[in-house]
Amino acid sequence: MKTAAMTRPEETADRAFLEGVYRLADPKVSLASIASMILGAAVAAHQGPLAWGWLALTVVGILAIEIGKNASGELVDFRSGVDQAVAPEDRTPFSGGKRVLVDGLFTQRQTAAVAWIGYGLGIAIGITLSAYRHPDVLWLGLAGVGLAYFYHADPLRLSYRGLGEMAVALTYGPLIACGTYLVQRREWGDQIWWASIPLGILIGAFLWINELPDYRADRGGGKRTLVVRLGPRIASRVYVVLVAVAYAVLLLLPAAGLPRTVWLGAAALPFSVWAARRVMKNAESTSAIIPAQAVTLLAFLAYSIGASIGMLVHASG
């Protein structure tokens, strides 16, 4: 049996590299992209058969951009000092950055290489989808890459200027869901636009709650998120408003032409209510917020799966 002293340096480096790749892929947070693609595919399936090969290529392209975004964001937050400023007691599985640089898993050059590979692969796939499925896929893809890169980077630095929350809601709601639908149906549709709005808001709420433990580090590093601007107590109440708006929109979706079975998305409501009560009572306690972060993630997944099942049930009825 090998001991720590017997471990070869190259084995340690390999483990660090694999750990770094895993953190940048961050399966937990990538569930936001997956939830949006599930909804886009379900609404497309409501109207006709799916092209599974093109769907698989869509998934690869979007997840590649996700990894590129995480890597480029690590560079910006490391250089600004935000990641280093997160106190140990404020770190959670959902916030505080990927920490591949802070923990020495990657160098800055390696992180930049991962970012360029991720963006490059995503753009290449977007061009392919645009050429063979619908030309507007290219513009949606470029918008997604732009929002992903400039979420952290100069000159826009959206997350540093209180615009990151809106960018996330737009990207993980309408943009990815409509893009997935467009690849499948090769035309625009109103139903996916409306169905994606509650999802975008719920994913925006996930970012919002994740910003609460980062409040002190973000404020000290000049990252003026909306949570930093409002303060934890007011921000906790805005969280409640966000989830309430999401379910109000869900209630109105049949008026926009969607089947009433889309209301199965309300399966997310118990999760959102539980998380909202937790956040309201513990806005400044990181340890108490961690369960609410996990439940907020479950809420947007439950909405995506419930609404998707509702669309598919109606299609088969």
The alpha-helical segments, DSSP class H, found in the chain are 9-25, 27-47, 52-80, 82-85, 108-132, 136-150, 164-170, 176-185, 190-211, 215-220, 226-230, 232-252, 269-281, 286-316
Identify which of 158, 208, 198, 255 has the alpha carbon closest to the alpha carbon of residue 35.
198
pLDDT band per the 50, 70, 90 thresholds, residue 1: very low
- Tell me if 162 sits within 8 A of 224, measured CB to CB: yes
DSSP 3-state assignment of 162?
coil
- Average pLDDT along the chain: 92
| Residue 11: other Cβ atoms inside 10 A | 11
**H or E, element range at 256:** none
Half-sphere exposure of 86 (CA within 13 A, CB side): 26
* 92: DSSP letter: B
Whole-number pLDDT of residue 100: 92
The domain limits of the chain are 20-316
Q: Model pTM?
A: 0.93
Higher pLDDT, 91 or 187: 187
- Domain 20-316 falls in which CATH fold? Farnesyl Diphosphate Synthase (1.10.600)
Whole-number pLDDT of residue 16: 83
The 10 Å CB-count burial string (b at 16+, else e) for 116-136 is eebbebbbebbeebbeebbee
The predicted-structure confidence for 20-78, as pLDDT tens digits, reads as follows 888 998 888 899 999 999 999 999 999 999 999 999 999 999 999 999 999 999 999 99
Exposed/middle/buried for residue 21 (C-beta within 10 Å: 0-12, 13-18, 19+): middle
pLDDT band per the 50, 70, 90 thresholds, residue 98: confident
